[in-house]
Amino acid sequence: YLCLSHMVLDYLTIPTTSVDVEQLFSRGHMLLPYLRNCLLSQSTHALLCLGQWSKLGLVKDEDFHKAICEEPERDESEVELPDGWDRI
């Protein structure tokens, strides 16, 4: 589970420099208000992680293409996340 362990480490670690944080918010800025303002918080979080994992080569291109070609489930309700869901 080498790729999975890298993904978990990436997901659970906090950037040690402000540059990484600024880049993350820059990407989030493009996702949230201008291009995809109707995304659920879970989708936004998943897209930010997927973008980073893709840059690191942890996600295979063919898996990504297969996933985006699938018909999405139509559930308009946002799941309420418990307090502390983002606490490490």
Is residue 37 a part of any domain in this protein?
yes
Is residue 85 a part of any domain in this protein?
no
Is residue 36 a part of any domain in this protein?
yes
Residues 7-12: contacts with CB under 8 Å, at least 24 apart: 7/49, 7/53, 7/58, 10/49, 10/52, 10/53, 10/56, 10/58, 11/49, 12/88
Is residue 78 a part of any domain in this protein?
no
The tally of domains found in the chain comes to 1
CB neighbours of 32 closer than 8 A, spacing ≥ 6? 39, 44
Residue-wise pLDDT tens digits, 14-44? 555 555 555 555 555 554 555 545 666 677 6
Is residue 44 a part of any domain in this protein?
yes
- CA dist 8 and 66 (Å) reads 22
Is residue 81 a part of any domain in this protein?
no
What is the extent of the structural domain holding 54? 30-69
Is residue 62 a part of any domain in this protein?
yes
pTM for the model: 0.37
pLDDT tier, 54 (very low <50, low <70, confident <90, very high otherwise): confident
Is residue 86 a part of any domain in this protein?
no
